[in-house]
């Protein structure tokens, strides 16, 4: 006979549904690569041609290639979120099934003596433990789901923003139609396209204002450089938040959303804290550099702005280091703020664009 605790556990189990999240189109990334390759092939045929129309097409083609590859990265990031959701769904069901099974077994053992004070107390403890465990499982997975939902909304908004400038036709000025290959349409029908319907209202990108001198804060190497910190307000706030960590020690794994842990920060802990503080707690980056690089809009060399994230030291797993672009000093030298390595405090360093990937996660 089903009692109130077993019924509650069954309702908790039902909240996970019967299916499991799966990726919609496993070939999306391959299709995107095919489109990019086709555009490169088209671009190669124009290298021996001249004229304003050809130059215009070449510029647009390069932008399309970068855009398609960027969208493929976002598809992969969304797919990883789906995979994580599927794993948690399965583990949540398993945990609740186990809790229910243990409760039913314990209930059968205690049932014969429930009319005694000791038996009644044992049954009460058993019920309390089962309800507490079931609620704990659901609360944990609900928190994970909320975090994934925030990442999905961010990816969807960035996906739409990246698609918008790519939707116009690519044509030669002379009138020869050279539109986007038909396969591009199918490449945009990838898993993340399903996220667009639930995305928040897209904020239009705003051009960064011209840099103006601003306070430099502490400088770990002596006198403070007069850094330019003009630009979008959120980007400037990222730099300001990072300045508060200057001179703190490098601590591997250090840094929470609200401040240092263990007395300091590592590189991704610093960027995560700065972005979270700069956005008033509305944007929470993943913890590692390998995941942080999947977010934001790629910034072309020469267009860096304060608050941009600079990824470098790439390995087979991805970037091993991330810095915060902080603007230029009074001599025109571009600078970053970074938690570099053990034994070196958080500091300003010269910006080195060689081999770096710059992503803009705030506007």
Look at residue 53 and tell me whether its pLDDT is greater than 60: no
Look at residue 322 and tell me whether its pLDDT is greater than 50: yes
Residue 198 lies in a domain: no
Look at residue 315 and tell me whether its pLDDT is greater than 60: yes
Contact 256, 273 (CB under 8 A): yes
Q: Please write the tens of the pLDDT for every residue from 114-126.
A: 899 999 999 999 9
Look at residue 175 and tell me whether its pLDDT is greater than 70: no
Verify that 179 and 83 share a domain, yes or no. yes
Q: Please write the tens of the pLDDT for every residue from 178-236.
A: 332 333 333 333 333 333 333 332 233 333 333 333 333 333 333 445 555 445 688 99
Number of domains in the chain: 2
- For 297, list phi and psi in degrees, rounded to 5: -105, 130
Percentage of the chain beyond pLDDT 70 is: 64
The domain of 17 spans 4-186
Round the average pLDDT of the chain to a whole number and report it.
75
Residue 238 lies in a domain: yes
Q: What is the pLDDT of residue 260?
A: 96
10 Å CB burial of residue 158 (0-12, 13-18, 19+) is buried
Q: What is the pLDDT of residue 325?
A: 97
Verify that 73 and 155 share a domain, yes or no. yes
Q: What is the pLDDT of residue 246?
A: 96
Verify that 51 and 116 share a domain, yes or no. yes
Residue 19 lies in a domain: yes
Residue 338 lies in a domain: yes
Verify that 343 and 257 share a domain, yes or no. yes
Residue 90 lies in a domain: yes
Verify that 111 and 244 share a domain, yes or no. no
Residue 101 lies in a domain: yes
Residue 138 lies in a domain: yes
Verify that 177 and 220 share a domain, yes or no. no
Q: Please write the tens of the pLDDT for every residue from 134-167.
A: 888 888 887 777 777 777 777 777 667 666 665 5
d(CA 67, CA 345): 37
Verify that 54 and 139 share a domain, yes or no. yes
Verify that 37 and 108 share a domain, yes or no. yes
Could you tell me the CATH number of the domain that includes residue 125?
1.20.1260
> What SS3 state is found at 328?
strand
Verify that 235 and 127 share a domain, yes or no. no
Verify that 15 and 159 share a domain, yes or no. yes
Look at residue 255 and tell me whether its pLDDT is greater than 50: yes
Could you tell me the CATH number of the domain that includes residue 225?
3.90.1720.10
Verify that 165 and 211 share a domain, yes or no. no
Q: Please write the tens of the pLDDT for every residue from 62-100.
A: 666 666 666 666 677 777 777 777 888 888 889 999 999
User: What confidence tier does 52 reach under pLDDT thresholds 50, 70, 90?
Assistant: low
Residue 197 lies in a domain: no
- For 340, list phi and psi in degrees, rounded to 5: -80, -60
User: What confidence tier does 352 reach under pLDDT thresholds 50, 70, 90?
Assistant: very high
Verify that 240 and 105 share a domain, yes or no. no
d(CA 244, CA 235): 15
Q: Please write the tens of the pLDDT for every residue from 262-294.
A: 999 999 999 999 999 999 888 999 999 999 999
d(CA 232, CA 213): 14
Of 155, 186, 217, the one marking the end of a domain is: 186
């Amino acid at each position: 006979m089903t009692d109130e605790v077993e019924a509650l556990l069954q309702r908790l189990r039902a909240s996970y549904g019967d299916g499991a999240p799966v990726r919609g189109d496993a070939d999306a990334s391959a299709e995107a690569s095919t489109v990019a390759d086709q555009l490169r092939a088209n671009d190669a045929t124009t290298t021996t041609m001249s004229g304003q129309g050809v130059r215009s097409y070449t510029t647009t083609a390069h932008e399309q290639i970068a855009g398609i590859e960027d969208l493929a990265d976002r598809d992969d990031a969304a797919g990883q979120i789906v995979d994580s959701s599927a794993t948690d769904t399965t583990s949540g069901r398993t945990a609740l099934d186990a809790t229910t099974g243990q409760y039913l077994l314990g209930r059968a053992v205690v049932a014969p003596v429930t009319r005694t004070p000791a038996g009644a107390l044992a049954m009460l403890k058993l019920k309390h433990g089962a309800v507490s465990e079931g609620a704990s499982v659901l609360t944990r997975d609900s928190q994970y789901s909320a975090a994934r939902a925030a990442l999905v909304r961010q990816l969807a908004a960035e996906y739409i923003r990246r698609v918008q400038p790519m939707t116009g036709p690519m044509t030669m000025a002379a009138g020869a139609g050279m539109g986007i290959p038909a396969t591009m349409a199918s490449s945009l029908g990838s898993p993340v396209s399903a996220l667009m319907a639930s995305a928040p209202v897209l904020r239009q990108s705003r051009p960064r204002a011209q840099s103006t001198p601003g306070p430099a804060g502490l400088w770990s190497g002596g006198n403070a450089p007069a850094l330019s910190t003009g630009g979008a307000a959120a980007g400037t706030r990222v730099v300001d938040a990072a300045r508060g960590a200057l001179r703190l020690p490098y601590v591997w794994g250090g840094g929470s959303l609200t401040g240092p842990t263990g007395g300091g920060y590592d590189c991704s802990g610093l960027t995560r804290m700065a972005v979270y503080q700069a956005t008033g707690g509305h944007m929470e980056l993943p913890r590692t550099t390998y995941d942080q690089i999947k977010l934001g809009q790629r910034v072309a060399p020469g267009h860096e702005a304060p608050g941009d994230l600079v990824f470098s030291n790439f390995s087979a797993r991805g970037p091993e280091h991330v810095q915060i672009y902080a603007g230029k000093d009074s001599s025109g030298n571009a600078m970053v703020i970074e938690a570099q390595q053990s034994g070196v405090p958080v500091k300003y360093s010269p910006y080195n664009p060689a081999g770096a990937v710059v992503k803009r996660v705030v506007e």
